[in-house]
Structure 1
Amino acid sequence: MSTTRRLHIGMSLAPTWLSGDAWRRADSRAEEIYGSDFALDIARRSEAAHLDFVFRPDVSCLAIEAMESGSGFASLDPTVLLAALTRETSRIGLVSTVSTTFFPPYLVARQLQSLHWLSKGRVGWNIVTALQGHENFGLEAMPSAEERYARAAEFTRVVHELWASFPNEALLLDRENGRYADPAQVHPIDHDGEYLKVRGPLNLPAFGARIPLVQAGASDSGRDFAASVADIVFAPTPDKAAATELRRDLSRRAERHGRSPGDIRLLPGLSLYLAPTREEARELFMQTHARVDKARKFAAIEQMIGLDLSAWPSDRRIRAADLPLPQLRPGTSRTHVDLLRRLLERESLLPEELLMRPEVLSAAHWQVIGTVDDAVGQIADWAAAGAMDGFIAAPGGSFGSLRLFLDEVVPRLAEAGLFRDRYRGSTFAEHLAEA
């Protein structure tokens, strides 16, 4: 499978380049992450490079145990943050993350459509079902993955019905005849489903351009949901084989849902530790993760796959035969569990080596530790193999990685015909329609 289509590229607004010990650097700007100027700087740089969108992931709880050594994913509300960027950017897409498990669909439909108006058609919705946070929303426990995705499917239908309940065409603004809108085109949705009951209509007209959907699940339930509704799938794929398998599976599932495989674009996360030389890039990576909390990482590994490494000899390799029988535990991601087991079934690693792998160290994303040439080469290789349709960049280690990516990697991709050299449209949907 090969492709000659141009890639779609997003930039994470989560400050991944401040992870580990990187926030301790004098130039980290860690003091600024709860203000809009920090995100605005990244968005402007990304727009200057003609990226498709910036993206703010989100969770609805706080990892207190991680906060002594990092932010613990504390962050501004993504939709509010992106609203602050609408007047300071003009072309780049703005993708917000909103959970279908915790929030009412009327509120979500209204907030996203409001942001769509403010940005003149540049909004995207990253649909998540969440893994944690139930205690913050009056729930006794997290629903099962199957229930969460069933609710998400109904929730997404309701949001679309609400957006359609007050179509843009109903807004007449006919001054001569005194007709502001056509009530005949505005209608309740009267939805009464398994999980949701919403009358409608939405008290806001649709902007006009559609709002693309992003979905981050790579489990079986997540894949099927994504194949039914998503324009973009953002998934952890630590190697090309994992990405290729997921891309093919999504295409098959899309066809079963009556969609074209081309309707879905797989954009893996790409963690980038970039420097002028490979040695400097490796040093940047190792400095960033010099103080990995081994006890916390070992506890996370045990929680995910049931393997206790707390007293494991440092010179003893972990082999496939050491793995306990598969068992999904509450609060764990099936996707990350499967990727971690896959790694240990394929490679025999020492505990110290395992701690440095993306399946444990971060979110199991594709990782490049090297030079601009290394990054361009790997991206071109994955594109030629048809393993993905683009990626979401998550620079690591320092702002230097981000600058090298935007100032050097992206222009090189454009020169090679793998990425746009300018914007052709003004809405997020138009960016995604570019071939």
Structure 2
Amino acid sequence: MATKRQLCIGLSLTATWLKGKSWCHEDSHVEKLYSSDFYLELALRAEQAKLDFVFKADALLLNTEVIEHTPGFSSPDSTILLASIARETKHIGLITTTSTTFNPPYVVARQLQSLNWISNGRAGWNMVTSIGGAENFSDAPMPSSEERYAKALEFSDVIHKLWQSYPYDALLVDRSTGQYADREKIRAIDHTGEYFSVKGPLNMPAHPSGPLPLLQAGASESGRRFAASVADAVFAATPDIASGIELREDLRRRASRHGRHPDEIRVLPGMYFFLGKTRDEARELHQEAHAHLSTANRYSAVKSILGIDIGHLPFDACITADMLPDPVEPLRSQTHANLLRRLIVNEQPSVKDLLSRPEVVGSAYWVVVGTAEDALSEITTWFEAGALDGFIALPGGSLKSMSIFFDELVPMLAEKGLFRKEYTGATLSEHLGIKKSL
């Protein structure tokens, strides 16, 4: 008898609930933003709810244009933060973020394997190519999306070679013979490629749980090709159910062409939620979180994503496909640009509707505004329609909204049989149902 498919659920530790003026609330705990204690409290709550993992995004730049009014991208280093959480938790997975564009693979391979040992096999890797921050590493401009993903593919190959270079079974620790390790099983990788030259071997042995699960976030054409070949899960930006179904079906087809089983790649959209005891309360939270964005801010966002200036158009004017320039590398995100271009081609939205889109006012993530019951209904609909394999919870509005997520929504999902009631595994791979070979 086949096991009933259940959701994979993770919690983002990025302080999305502090957007806009939300950080000004007395109970926002914004003063703890750079301390591990607050993030530990969230991780413990997530573990109590039996979530698969906590996830920490990261950025290698500071947006000084917004820092007067919001924390922006400022936060502790994700790997160091999760290492501090690892010692205080027992079950929950810990997915950290590192950039393949700006880091050397040997250092990243060592950091990730260290986190895996410290957490007893609960570590995961969110691989990003970054969409900004080049100025903090050299005078060279930001590489194109194609080049970043080509570099990421080689980076991933080097990482896995390094993890294999010192296999777990090379560790003997035989006190009777005095032999610590089998030197014959430890090999240099002697990698020479277009972007990296790495001799190896790694100076950390592989953990017995096997390679770390790999999460990837890009949904551009380059990102999809990359994810289908190596990713275990995709942190997806799918603002509506149709885009979720399209992305999941496309990635599963691509994975099959790479000789992988379609179930080996999981689509986990970000679910940016604003939960209240009533729908009115939830709507107020959502409105407050985005009230700081002026109309000028929104026009600027559209221009940076699509390369078109619509500031001269009336609110009721329709945006049509012939107004779009030829596709070029956007200033912000290829994923967001593709989503908005598809919307314009298919629906011809008004200026007013376009300016209210989640890709413009914040991110391209799925936004859920309502009660716990409303969220349960929407998650169930997406899951049964094949738009997702789970989701990464992005708390919005307030800590009260987060409490409703933990205390009401997750138990409802478990009661409905869509999520676990107890942990059955000890590693992140086991939580996600990933079979990894050493």
| 1:334-361 CA distance string (max 9 Å, x none) | 1110112223334455545433321211
2:343–2:349 Cα contact (<8 Å) kept: no
Once the two structures are superposed, the pairs formed by residues 326-337 of structure 1 within 5 Å of their partners are 326-337=326-337
Shift, 1:68, TM fit: 1.9
Q: Which residue of the partner structure matches residue 53 of structure 2?
A: 53
| 1:292 and 2:293 aligned | yes
Q: 1:188 & 1:401 partners in 2: Cα distance? A: 51
Once the two structures are superposed, the pairs formed by residues 16-415 of structure 1 within 5 Å of their partners are 16-210=16-210, 211-313=212-314, 315-320=315-320, 323-347=323-347, 349=349, 351-415=351-415
Any idea what SS the aligned residue of 1:272 has? Answer: strand
1:218–1:235 Cα contact (<8 Å) kept: yes
Q: 1:216 & 1:332 partners in 2: Cα distance? A: 14
| Percent identical | 53
Q: 1:253 & 1:265 partners in 2: Cα distance? A: 13
Q: 2:243 & 2:330 partners in 1: Cα distance? A: 25
Shift, 1:393, TM fit: 0.4
- TM-score normalized by structure 2? 0.95
Q: Which residue of the partner structure matches residue 432 of structure 2?
A: 432
Q: 1:212 & 1:434 partners in 2: Cα distance? A: 8
1:19–1:70 Cα contact (<8 Å) kept: yes
2:316–2:352 Cα contact (<8 Å) kept: no
- TM-score normalized by structure 1? 0.96
Any idea what SS the aligned residue of 1:259 has? Answer: coil
Higher mean displacement: 352-361 or 397-406 = 352-361
Any idea what SS the aligned residue of 1:269 has? Answer: strand
Shift, 1:139, TM fit: 4.4
1:320–1:346 Cα contact (<8 Å) kept: no
Shift, 1:42, TM fit: 0.8
Shift, 1:287, TM fit: 1.8
Any idea what SS the aligned residue of 2:274 has? Answer: strand
Shift, 1:306, TM fit: 2.2
Shift, 1:51, TM fit: 0.4
Whichever residue aligns with residue 252 of structure 2, its letter is S
Shift, 1:293, TM fit: 3.4
Q: 2:282 & 2:104 partners in 1: Cα distance? A: 45
| 1:44-98 CA distance string (max 9 Å, x none) | 0000000000001111111111212211211111001111101111100000000
Change in 2 beyond 3 A, CA 1:253/1:189: same
| 1:224-280 CA distance string (max 9 Å, x none) | 100111111111000111000010100110011110001000000001110011111
Q: 1:40 & 1:343 partners in 2: Cα distance? A: 39
Whichever residue aligns with residue 79 of structure 1, its letter is T
Q: 1:373 & 1:120 partners in 2: Cα distance? A: 36
Q: 1:434 & 1:333 partners in 2: Cα distance? A: 30
Any idea what SS the aligned residue of 1:97 has? Answer: strand
Aligned residues: 432
Any idea what SS the aligned residue of 2:96 has? Answer: strand
2:278–2:370 Cα contact (<8 Å) kept: yes
Any idea what SS the aligned residue of 2:236 has? Answer: coil
Higher mean displacement: 120-129 or 301-310 = 301-310
Unaligned runs of 5+ in 2: none
Q: 2:166 & 2:39 partners in 1: Cα distance? A: 32
Shift, 1:109, TM fit: 0.2
1:4–1:384 Cα contact (<8 Å) kept: no
Q: 2:320 & 2:277 partners in 1: Cα distance? A: 37
2:321–2:344 Cα contact (<8 Å) kept: no
Change in 2 beyond 3 A, CA 1:345/1:109: same
1:309–1:351 Cα contact (<8 Å) kept: yes
Higher mean displacement: 66-75 or 412-421 = 66-75
Any idea what SS the aligned residue of 1:364 has? Answer: coil
Any idea what SS the aligned residue of 1:66 has? Answer: coil
Any idea what SS the aligned residue of 1:10 has? Answer: strand
Q: 2:332 & 2:19 partners in 1: Cα distance? A: 21
Shift, 1:318, TM fit: 3.4
Q: 1:206 & 1:349 partners in 2: Cα distance? A: 52
Higher mean displacement: 256-265 or 134-143 = 134-143
Any idea what SS the aligned residue of 2:251 has? Answer: helix
Shift, 1:327, TM fit: 2.9
Q: 2:162 & 2:310 partners in 1: Cα distance? A: 50
Whichever residue aligns with residue 45 of structure 2, its letter is R
Change in 2 beyond 3 A, CA 1:330/1:142: farther
Change in 2 beyond 3 A, CA 1:322/1:17: farther
Any idea what SS the aligned residue of 1:126 has? Answer: strand
Any idea what SS the aligned residue of 1:9 has? Answer: strand
| 1:186-225 CA distance string (max 9 Å, x none) | 1100001111100000011111113100000101110010
Higher mean displacement: 196-205 or 361-370 = 361-370
